[in-house]
Amino acid sequence: MSPLYDTSFRSMGSDVRLMIGTPLLPTLAPPEAAAARERGYVEDFARRLSRFRSDSELGALNADPAYEVRASLLLRTAVAAGVWAAERSCGLVDPTLVDEVEAIGYESSQDGCTPAPLTVALAAAPARRPARPCSEERWRQIEIDHERGVVRRPPGLRIDTGGTGKGLAADAVAHRLRGYTRFVVDCGGDIAVGGVGCELEPIAIEVEHPLTGECVHTLRLAGGGVATSGLNVRIWKRSDGTFAHHLIDPSSGEPVWSGLIGATALAPSALEAETLAKLALLTGPEGARRALADHGGVVVHDDGDVELIGPVHADGDLAARGLGSAA
C-alpha cells in the first residue's frame, strides 16, 4: 500500500482525521498542504453551520423573522441535505427538532463533557419501541431556492443541520481530494473513502462496540461512505433523574430507546451512510434490518449482541466495490 499522510484535529465537536495519498497530477498540492487546506475548510464549515453559535449563518437563519432569507451556497446545501435526509428516512431524521432537542437539555455543545454511563441509562430507560415520524412533518415546509439564493420556511421554524453535517462535510472534502491516489476523510465517525488506490487495496475500518470500546468487526472499503451512530457519546442525566441522548423520536420529542445502542451503515456517500445509521438506531432491530439491507451494516443490541446485516461478511469482506465513490 502506498504511504498516506495522516493527520487529526478537533472540529464539529468530534475528532476529524484526514488520510491522503500522493497526487495524481504534478499541479496538485502535496498531501501535507492539501490536509492543511481541508482542515481550514472543515473548521470554516463548522463555524458557519453551528447551532450553538448565534453568530453562525445557521444561527442567523434561525433568528431571522422573515419567511424568505438570503443564504450562502454552503448554508443552502446544508439545509437541503437535512431535508433530503428527512425524505430518505420517511421523516425520522428530522432537521426541525431544535425545540425538542433543547428541551431535553441539549442546548449547548456536549464536546468535552463526560458521557453518562450507558449501562446505567439502559437499565433506567423506558420500554423499547421504534421511533415514529412527527405527524406535522414540518421539514416539508422548508424550501431551498438556489436560483434566488434563499431559504424559505415559516418564521420561528428553526433548523438543525447537525444531524447530517458531518456526512456532508466528509463528502465535500472527499470531492476536493479526488485528484489523489487514495483518501480517507473521517468526520466524527462519518467516513468517505475514495481513490484508485483504495479500489486496489481496500481500507480497513474498525467498528467499535459502544459498551466496551472493543473492535467488533472490520470493514474493508474500496470506496463510498460508512457512518456510525451510537448512544454512548452524547448521553447525559437530566435534573429529574432520567437519561437523555441526542437521537430524538420525532413523534414524542423524547430520546428514542429502540433496542439498539449502535449502528454502522455503508452507502455510496457519507451523507447517506449517516442518514441510514441514524435511521437504523431510530427504528430498532427490525427497522435496522430493512434500512441496512441494500448496502450492509453492523448493529449492536441493548444486550451487547452484534449483528451483521446485508452484504457484510463475517471475515470482513463486503461488496464495497459496488458502492461507488463519495467523490
Nearest alpha-carbon partner for 182 in 166, 160, 207, 202:
202
Q: How far apart are CA 320 and CA 101, in angstroms?
A: 35
Give the list of residues 6+ apart from residue 200 with CB closer than 8 angstroms, or none: none
What letter represents residue 83's amino acid?
V
Give the list of residues 6+ apart from residue 130 with CB closer than 8 angstroms, or none: 256, 258, 282, 283, 284, 286, 287
Nearest alpha-carbon partner for 282 in 129, 164, 73:
129
Q: Which 3 state secondary structure label does DSSP give 44? A: helix
Task: Identify whether the C-beta of residue 110 lies closer than 8 Å to the C-beta of residue 14.
Answer: no
Strand partners, 15: 10
Query: Which tens digit of pLDDT belongs to each residue from 111-154?
Result: 667 889 999 999 999 999 999 999 999 999 999 999 999 999 99
What phi, psi does 210 have (nearest 5°)?
-70, -15
Per residue of the chain (327 residues), give pLDDT as tens: 567 899 999 999 899 999 999 999 999 999 999 999 999 999 999 999 999 888 999 999 999 999 999 999 999 999 999 999 999 999 999 999 999 999 998 776 666 678 899 999 999 999 999 999 999 999 999 999 999 999 999 999 999 998 899 999 999 999 999 999 999 999 999 999 999 999 999 999 999 999 999 999 999 999 999 999 999 988 999 989 999 999 999 999 999 999 999 999 999 999 999 999 999 999 999 999 999 999 999 999 999 999 999 998 776 555 444 454 444
C-alpha grid cell, residue 122: 439502559
Task: Identify whether the C-beta of residue 169 lies closer than 8 Å to the C-beta of residue 12.
Answer: yes
CATH number of 5-322: 3.10.520.10
Task: Identify whether the C-beta of residue 164 lies closer than 8 Å to the C-beta of residue 85.
Answer: yes
Task: Identify whether the C-beta of residue 14 lies closer than 8 Å to the C-beta of residue 166.
Answer: yes
Q: Buried b / exposed e across 165-196, counting CB within 10 Å, b at 16+? A: bbbbbbbbbbebbeebbbbbbbbbbbbbbbbe
Between helices 31-49 and 162-176, what is the axis angle to 10°?
150
Q: Which 3 state secondary structure label does DSSP give 307? A: strand
- Output the pLDDT for position 324: 47
For the chain, give every domain's residue range. Answer: 5-322
- Output the pLDDT for position 88: 97
C-alpha grid cell, residue 319: 461488496
Query: Which tens digit of pLDDT belongs to each residue from 40-91?
Result: 999 999 999 999 888 999 999 999 999 999 999 999 999 999 999 999 999 9
Q: How far apart are CA 78 and CA 171, in angstroms?
A: 12
Task: Identify whether the C-beta of residue 177 lies closer than 8 Å to the C-beta of residue 38.
Answer: yes
What phi, psi does 116 have (nearest 5°)?
-70, 155
